[in-house]
């Protein structure tokens, strides 16, 4: 096992912050021992969730949580935006309210071992995603 690392909460306000979070996620995952391709998958998820924050909520945060003892890497994306009225629908590939590809959430779920969305309309959204180090 590599050196233990602290969690990092990254405020997401501009596209540049999404890039910072993506780069940081890849670096932290690799430091934990994830392969380059697994670390890239985590980075892609951070990027998709970060883009959604900018696009739908305006701003929020992404917290990167490496848990060496559990051999897991957790990503928590939070915002106080409009919320998601129908989570099942939002996870359907191709569904988008913004003429996007509608692949961000469904694709992110497929790349991770655990994936959950909690959302309250008018209050915000919290997406939690975990990948295990095998």
Ligand X SMILES: Nc1ncnc2c1ncn2[C@@H]1O[C@H](COP(=O)(O)OP(=O)(O)OP(=O)(O)O)[C@@H](O)[C@H]1O
- Where do contacts with ligand X occur on this chain (CB under 6 A)? 48, 52-53, 56-57, 79, 81-84, 90, 95-98, 100-106, 125
Which residues contribute to the site for Mg ion (CB under 5 A)? 52, 104
Q: What is the DSSP letter of 133?
A: -
The answer to whether 102 and 92 have CB atoms below 8 angstroms apart is yes
- Minimum Å gap between C-beta 122 and ligand X is 11
The neighbouring-strand residues paired with 46 are none
> Taking a C-beta distance cutoff of 8 angstroms, is the pair 8, 64 a contact?
yes
Q: Is the CB of residue 40 less than 8 Å from the CB of residue 15?
A: no
Residue 41 touches which of Mg ion, ligand X, none (Cβ within 5-8 Å per kind): none
Nearer to ligand X, 32 or 52 (CB): 52
In the bound complex, what is the minimum distance in angstroms from residue 126's beta carbon to Mg ion?
Answer: 16
């Amino acid at each position: 096992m590599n050196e233990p690392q602290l969690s990092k909460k990254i405020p997401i306000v501009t596209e540049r912050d999404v890039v910072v979070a993506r780069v940081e996620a890849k670096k932290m995952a690799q430091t934990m021992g994830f392969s380059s391709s697994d670390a890239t998958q985590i980075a892609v998820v951070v990027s998709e969730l970060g883009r959604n924050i900018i696009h739908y909520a305006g701003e929020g945060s992404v917290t990167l949580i490496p848990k060496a003892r559990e051999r897991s890497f957790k990503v928590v994306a939070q915002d106080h935006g409009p919320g998601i009225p129908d989570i099942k629908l939002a996870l359907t590939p191709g569904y988008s309210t913004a003429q996007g590809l509608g692949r961000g959430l469904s694709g992110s779920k497929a790349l991770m071992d655990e994936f959950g969305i909690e959302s309250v309309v008018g209050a915000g959204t919290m997406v939690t995603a975990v990948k295990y180090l095998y």
